Structure 1
Amino acid sequence: NKALEYKTYWNKDFKDLAKNDVDRMQARGLYQGTIWQYRWFVPYDFKGLIELDGGEQNYLKNLDTFFERDLYNHANEPDLQAPLMYNVTKSGYKSQDWMHQLAADTVIQNYFNDNSRGIGSFIGKIYQNKPQAYVRTMDDDAGAMSAWYVFTASGFSPPCVGWPVYYLNVPLFKSVTYQVKAGKTFKVEVENFSVKNKYVKEVFLNGKKFNKNYITQDEINAGGILKIVASATPVLVSNTENWISSLEK
């Protein structure tokens, strides 16, 4: 299974984060990215990745370091799914925080396609309401960056493109409506909508409590109303069903 080949490179290149080139652009032949950024690029097997990283606790520690040290790069696609990757743990609120920050708040962007960390860093909003809306050298390959924003602003985002599953976050709008199959509509509504309320408190689908941190394509296609109740403080949820990609499925 060629999809499992990433495991053969883990110990050699991605396990040891103490090496001095792990935050260096294009180190060890990587294209427009770093060891830190490419180590998360296994969206189809989050379960296997967590096991390789020493379990959930160590995985969370490394993911925290990645974002807290501003090692994430939104100017290119290799780590584009990383903000969603807290959702495979009980710390999904951190994904909700980062999705909101990257889509609408001021962030520190240390990497571009033509620089090294710390040279020409950018502090500001990545998505801006003007013709030149992106940060410098930001690729919109096949509309990837535009799609990332549209999904995030709508309140649901795919952790693995091609897998009909979307993680939930608080939308950037009070309501968003999509036309789906057979003339049906799928509407996302936010209760307690506010710029400060970026955490998911609870979710309802067509009036019924929805105890999942994700929604499927079939549920979207069926139409209806997804209501997300927002909160200004992180919500630690222990009984929510998480979705995690796995090659064992």
Structure 2
Amino acid sequence: MVTEWRLERHNDAPLLPPSLFADPGFAATAAIGVLLNLGYYGMLFVATLYFQQQRGYDAMTTGLLLLPTVCTALVAAPISGRLTARHGPYKPMVAALLLGSAGFLGWLVAGPDTSYAALLFALVATGLATPSTVPAATAAIIESAPSEKAGVATAVFNVSRQIGNAVGVALFGTLTLASASMYDGLHTSAVIASAAFFTGATLALLAGRHRTTGSPATALVAATAQS
């Protein structure tokens, strides 16, 4: 994305106008997309390794154990849509990202004999936080761009999330394999994921200070999330 931005600066008709990143809300939300997926999918990968390699569960059982962090999207996205319509995109983003930041720290209790119940907070909190952030962030980045660049704005957010996916899985996977024990890697990854979400919450808080609520983009995305 950085290389594309540098190339587009010298293009008379850029596909991705660098001027979009001059808006604090646009730049912050693009960064949040990276941080969001880096933390969530990086930890989801490590959690899969934990349940399979350290706890001895097969793939089917591991999938069932991870359901609380996946199925919560069915509840979280519509609620986030309503909150975004009422309060604008930034307050729901801050709240969701702080919840996720706290949730990742719940993985610090994970060990060879940790009960599944002790991990439920981590699974549910991060599962609620991630899909709650996406509708609000989508509304934020669209309203930060000119109306004719709405498609470009959403594309930037989606690409930033995919970058986060790749970096998160690669980074956390490497940390886990390089650590003295699986648990050291798991705990280090949890702290990094928590820090990523906390950084995202800080960016959303700063970007939202001078924003108003009730923009057409916010209303449209909120309605879509609730449907």
Higher-RCO chain (CA-CA 8 Å, sequence separation at least 6) = 2
More strand by share: 1
Q: What TM-score do you get using the length of structure 1 for normalisation?
A: 0.25
More helix by share: 2
